[in-house]
A = this chain, B = another copy of it.
């Protein structure tokens, strides 16, 4: 299916301009799997082990970890999908808003693309027509699955491939329950606490540790510019909540929002290349009162904005009443819907209540409308949910929303641990991932308390990569166990260097080890390498089974003379060869 291409020698992590570049570990080699055409180069991370074997890992880090690539965040990433989009011949360039709104300092204005004649230029439309696009082939290689399976999953609406025609820089990826569970990281500046450069660095930092998509939740004056930096430098799909920017345009007054202003904001972001948009179209006026007796009301920012608008006007949510027109816009850019759960529970007390599931029903209805119009759809989910109520969430979502990809925030399984909500929620995320959630939106240790910094972003991504991978293992993804098995082999054989290189976070594993243990501990004997499993242990095992074939209690029982003699011989042999079976770490 694909040949491979090696990048040049890897370097260690360095900081180029504002972002971190270079391999995470010297044994990590960036490689590309080449598809059916030369410009279809799928990145993988090949870990070279000390026993001359290699392990190939899924890689989200983009060109930043490719030593052959020269990073310049003022210019952005190469537009690897340009040719693919052009070849389809169904988009045209036009004079968009972007010229007036600004581009990166190192670039010139590129006129945005949109569909010719308003038709659908979505991966869903292509998949339904039976076309395997380069994007689909790319994700098939990336996931190690047949391209036809990818096309079929997209065509059925069970998976999405978010890829705005104005974001040609992305390395395509897929979100669906039959694929690897994905992780989203939220970033976003605020005028007070972070700069545009810091947010670009957070993007690169988040994908370095494994984020599959990134949502830019910026607020404040520089939303457009911040997003431009993020989109142009992002090899992963970028999601936004257009409502946040729309609200800025009306000085934070929800009641001043209008459909026209919202629509204009969506088009602005569509032209910039946003790949998926959270749209809180399910917060219906009649659902708002259902939250009145909750412990924590409406905790979704978008949900509370739309609830405020509905109550202020006492009209139906304009995102709902204009949903078909909105969908017509999204289909012209191939923007994927992420239908927002504005009424998600904000406490375990509120989980699975009438408001939440009422909105879910509407999201199912809207999802069907979107797919009818060839627009890809994900459904967002909670929130705060105690463990015994988690499965109902994914089961209902799959049923109501026709198996559209579920994209959940956690859920947090208890409310008592602010400061540790990456852990309270990784528990829920792993479980809901096992049961079929396609993408997990991370939660950082700062949740409920403040804005995440760089360390929090890493802590959140790592906790969620653990949850996602644990879910992949539990779902029996065909390749997931290879990573665990390689690390377990290294552990058992005391190949410390390989353990570090295979660790999700080699830096931390290495640092922890260096703190308390010598740099190069002696290996201990491998279990049974001395008696030998084939001869000694298995033979004894059979001898004993012959006597106690029923597996019954052997308390106070004696072995017969022949068996005893055999055992005594083995005993002497064992002692002569050093007398060690396998003593684990703690015994050294």
* CB pair A289 B553 closer than 8 Å: no
Chain A at the B interface: mostly helix, strand, loop or mixed?
Answer: helix
Question: Which stretch (A35-43, A84-92, A114-122, A562-570) binds chain B?
Answer: A562-570
Contact residues in B for A323 (Cβ distance below 8 Å): 555
Contact residues in B for A513 (Cβ distance below 8 Å): 449-450
A537 to B310, CA, bound (A): 11
Question: 1/0 per position for A359-398, CB-CB distance to B under 8 A?
Answer: 0011001000100000000000000001110000000000
How far in angstroms is the closest Cβ of chain B from A476?
7
How far in angstroms is the closest Cβ of chain B from A288?
6
* CB pair A418 B314 closer than 8 Å: no
* Chain A residues within 8 Å of B, Cβ to Cβ: 193, 217, 219, 252-255, 284-286, 288-293, 295-301, 304-305, 307-308, 311-316, 320-321, 323-324, 346-350, 358, 361-362, 365, 369, 386-388, 413-420, 422-424, 426-427, 430-431, 434, 445-446, 448-451, 453, 462-463, 465-467, 469-471, 473-476, 481, 483-485, 487-489, 491-492, 499-500, 502-505, 508-509, 511-513, 515-517, 526-528, 531, 533, 536-538, 540-541, 544-545, 548, 551, 553-557, 559, 564, 566-571, 574-575, 579-587
Of the A-B pairs whose beta carbons lie under 8 Å apart in the complex, a sample of 29, sorted by A's number, is A285-B544, A286-B545, A292-B528, A295-B485, A297-B528, A301-B584, A304-B527, A304-B582, A304-B584, A307-B581, A312-B579, A316-B559, A324-B555, A346-B488, A349-B488, A387-B471, A414-B470, A414-B473, A416-B487, A416-B504, A418-B499, A423-B423, A424-B470, A446-B516, A448-B499, A449-B512, A449-B513, A450-B516, A453-B516
Knowing A291-B527, A540-B314, A570-B311, say if A301 contacts B386 (CB, 8 Å).
Answer: no
How far in angstroms is the closest Cβ of chain B from A265?
17
Find A462's partner among B293, B417, B466, B536 (CB 8 Å cutoff).
B417
Find A314's partner among B320, B369, B571 (CB 8 Å cutoff).
B571
User: Which single residue of chain B is at the shortest CB-CB distance from A515?
Assistant: B450
User: Which single residue of chain B is at the shortest CB-CB distance from A492?
Assistant: B296
How far in angstroms is the closest Cβ of chain B from A521?
11
Contact residues in B for A571 (Cβ distance below 8 Å): 311-315
How far in angstroms is the closest Cβ of chain B from A563?
9
* CB pair B308 A581 closer than 8 Å: yes
